[in-house]
Chains A and B, each alone.
Chain A
Amino acid sequence: MSKLLLVDDDAELSSMLEQILTKEGFQLTLAADGEAGLERALSGSYDLILLDVMLPGIDGFQLLQRLRQQARNTPVLMLTARGDDDDRVAGLELGADDYLPKPFYPKELVARVKALLRRTPHTSVRPEKSEYAGFVIDPSQNEARCDDTQLDLTPTEFDILRTLVRAHGEVVSKDALSVAALGRSLAPFDRSLDVHISNIRKKLPTDPERIQTVRGRGYRIIQFA
């Protein structure tokens, strides 16, 4: 049974979501403010954290930042009632795996949660090492290297990079990457994949452009001299 942590100060919404997610077979823990949320996120072992942005005390972004600083790579799904795109993408830039704008259909939430959780067994299906252009991905060790430097990636970033390395320089469409890493197709105007790619590039020791954007088609890894 997967353990989820829901950090949201909207008590009515939280209790209703608890009913729904419990019914779906998840074990849910609630936290009503940022401090309590961070404490639980750091102490307990959760398979997924559902995180609201607007929280009393430390907000969702700060919570996420501190969580990632402690090198906790628990998948995080941001729930945001803010309207603008910048706010949505801001969470991804800080290392969230996916976001869901409020209001959402509860079924969509359940689907996203399942998609993010599904990756772990999905990874173990083909645990063989893959190598290309200086990248070495070892799913059995959960280890990614670039030019012999270990990369500290979130699970989503790991899955994206693994998919690109396996393609051996072939272009992988954005949609295929999204399915592989987020377990879902991309919605129109969805910039989440681009943000994840940009996060991976920032983590590469040299030559971030070796993950190349192929306009209108997707991404690929190129051999860098």
Chain B
Amino acid sequence: MRWYHSLSLRLLFLFWVLLFAVASSGYLLALWFSKPIAPSPVPEAVQSSLAPLLSDVNTFRSLTPGRLLAGDYRVAASLAPSGQERLQLDRSLSASHRRLLLSQLEADKPQQIPIGNRMLIGPFKLDGYSLLVTRPITAEEREQQVVSEQQTQRVQTLALLIGSLAIAILLGAWLVMPLRRLTHATREIAKGSEKPELKRLPKRNDELGELARALATTAHDLAVSRDAQRRLLSDVSHELRSPLARMQVALMLSQDDDDGTDREQHLGQLGRDLERLSTIIERILSLSRLENGLVNLQTEAVDVRELVSQLVKDLGYVDPQHGQRLQVHDSDDWPVIDSDPELLRLVLENLIRNALQYTDDAIEISCQALPESYTVFVRDHGQGVPEDQLEQLFTPFYRADPSRNHKAGVGLGMALSLRAAAVLGGYVDARNHPDGGLEVAVTLTRST
């Protein structure tokens, strides 16, 4: 976001513009509606009382601003056709009414206009000379002026009221409407909408646009995680129901088996499914513990080669054929690292078991140590996995082989390895080895 997209700056600018607009509209409306103080023709009486003074050229020329005439008249300005001081203005008047004085001098015929508490009269012209005079304003004229001013004030008040209303409406449209839309969108998200209706809000460049975009992302993330949870629940339920279904049928068969010939077989089925059920439940719990950070790490110095050898020995003890298929690359540079041996064993055991279950040939376990990290590879010589399904290997209950081969695991091993490695501060990834077979790599950083 650039500095000029900032909402505070925009608000400041908006307020400024609006206030300026209201003030100037008030001023303009006042000018428009108030009766302008228009010049009026000079009454005959004034003309005649001044006539004696203004008819003589010499007298006329000698009249300079400030000079008092008969009957409280005072000279305000004089304009000579030539000379050094062609234009002379009354100082006190020219300070505030210079423009008016000048325009009055240019007028075609004498007229009068109130300025302050005096009435400006003129121009009187004689022999190329022009002259303006002032006189005190009469009480009647004064009253007229007051009425006119009051009227101006009323118009100004009205204009301010209308203007502030306009501000409120504009602010509403500009600021409050987006907020209401955001509130509405938040409610939609709470109800489970993946794409709340935000209209054009996310396209805004300011803070509100940022909020709208964050909200849209959150809604999407929530929907994704909710879908994942729902799928997991559905999968868990499916995985638990299948062995239960078999157990129920096996139980009934063994009950109906009057002569007891197949009892052994039915009990064997029951036992297998019971074991499977408890494995699934135990693994789901482990997965949940790892995901929710409920595992206490017991870190100690771990000789990785020692750990792998022990693991191979244990697996071989359970099934000697499995033991023969496991080949550990002893010549590699196996590190001794600070880690949790139990968790590390869990990561590797699941990967190795997976390889044993899904392939029939040798499985190579090797290590590559780097200054910053080390990687343990578990590589099988099976058919590999289609490239587009490599990612999914780590999804709970995903099985690369879609037919339900019940000798294979419960479908949680890879997911468990991935989570456990993450808890240890590392990661697991899978790739198809260039020479065939699947290669799963566990990379952990060396703790310093």
Interface residues of A, Cβ cutoff 8 Å to B: 9-13, 16-17, 19-20, 23, 32-33, 54, 56-57, 81-84, 87, 101-107
B220-263 interface code vs A (CB 8 A; 1 in, 0 out)? 00000000000001100110011011111110110010000000
* Residues of A contacting B: mostly: loop
Residue of B nearest to A107 (CB): B252
Asked if B269 is at the interface (CB within 8 A of a chain A CB), the reply is yes
Say which one of B17-25, B297-305, B381-389, B400-408 lies at the interface with A: B400-408
Contact B253 A83 (CB under 8 A): no
Contact A81 B237 (CB under 8 A): yes
Contact A106 B246 (CB under 8 A): no
C-alpha gap A11/B403 in the complex (Å): 10
Residue of B nearest to A9 (CB): B404
A-B pairs with beta carbons under 8 A, tally:
68
Knowing A10-B246, A16-B269, the reply to whether A102 touches B252 (Cβ < 8 A) is no
Residues of A within 8 A of B234 (CB): 82-84, 87
Contact A20 B403 (CB under 8 A): no
From the candidates A17, A56, A57, A87, name the one contacting B249 in the complex (CB within 8 A): A17
C-alpha gap A84/B253 in the complex (Å): 28
C-alpha gap A10/B269 in the complex (Å): 13
In angstroms, how far is the closest chain A Cβ from the Cβ of B271? 12
Residue of A nearest to B238 (CB): A81
C-alpha gap A57/B401 in the complex (Å): 11
Residues of A within 8 A of B256 (CB): 23
Residues of B within 8 A of A81 (CB): 237-238, 241-242, 245
Contact A20 B249 (CB under 8 A): yes
Contact B241 A12 (CB under 8 A): no
21 residue pairs from A and B, CB less than 8 Å apart: A10-B406, A12-B246, A13-B249, A23-B256, A32-B403, A54-B238, A54-B404, A56-B402, A81-B237, A81-B238, A82-B237, A83-B237, A83-B241, A87-B234, A101-B241, A103-B241, A103-B245, A105-B252, A106-B248, A106-B249, A107-B252
Contact A102 B242 (CB under 8 A): yes
C-alpha gap A10/B243 in the complex (Å): 10
Residues of B within 8 A of A83 (CB): 233-234, 237-238, 241
Residues of B within 8 A of A105 (CB): 248, 252
Residues of B within 8 A of A101 (CB): 241
C-alpha gap A26/B237 in the complex (Å): 30
C-alpha gap A104/B234 in the complex (Å): 18
C-alpha gap A23/B257 in the complex (Å): 11
From the candidates B237, B250, B403, name the one contacting A33 in the complex (CB within 8 A): B403
State the 8 A-B residue pairs at the shortest beta-carbon distance, nearest first.
A83-B237, A103-B244, A103-B245, A102-B245, A81-B241, A56-B402, A56-B403, A16-B249
From the candidates B248, B250, B404, name the one contacting A10 in the complex (CB within 8 A): B404
Most chain A CB inside 10 Å of its own CB: which residue of B247, B248, B402: B248
C-alpha gap A58/B406 in the complex (Å): 20
C-alpha gap A113/B405 in the complex (Å): 28
Residues of B within 8 A of A9 (CB): 403-404
Residues of A within 8 A of B402 (CB): 56-57
C-alpha gap A106/B245 in the complex (Å): 9
Most chain B CB inside 10 Å of its own CB: which residue of A87, A103, A104: A103
C-alpha gap A103/B238 in the complex (Å): 10
C-alpha gap A73/B402 in the complex (Å): 29
C-alpha gap A33/B403 in the complex (Å): 8
C-alpha gap A17/B246 in the complex (Å): 9
In angstroms, how far is the closest chain B Cβ from the Cβ of A128? 42
C-alpha gap A154/B403 in the complex (Å): 31
C-alpha gap A83/B253 in the complex (Å): 25
Contact A16 B250 (CB under 8 A): yes
In angstroms, how far is the closest chain A Cβ from the Cβ of B227? 13
C-alpha gap A10/B250 in the complex (Å): 13
C-alpha gap A33/B404 in the complex (Å): 10
Most chain A CB inside 10 Å of its own CB: which residue of B234, B245, B250, B404: B245
Knowing A10-B404, A16-B249, A20-B249, the reply to whether A82 touches B244 (Cβ < 8 A) is no
C-alpha gap A13/B245 in the complex (Å): 8
From the candidates B238, B246, B252, name the one contacting A13 in the complex (CB within 8 A): B246
C-alpha gap A16/B256 in the complex (Å): 12
Residue of A nearest to B236 (CB): A83
C-alpha gap A10/B246 in the complex (Å): 9
In angstroms, how far is the closest chain B Cβ from the Cβ of A135? 40
Residues of B within 8 A of A19 (CB): 253
Knowing A83-B233, A83-B237, the reply to whether A10 touches B242 (Cβ < 8 A) is yes
Residue of A nearest to B249 (CB): A16
Residues of B within 8 A of A54 (CB): 238, 404
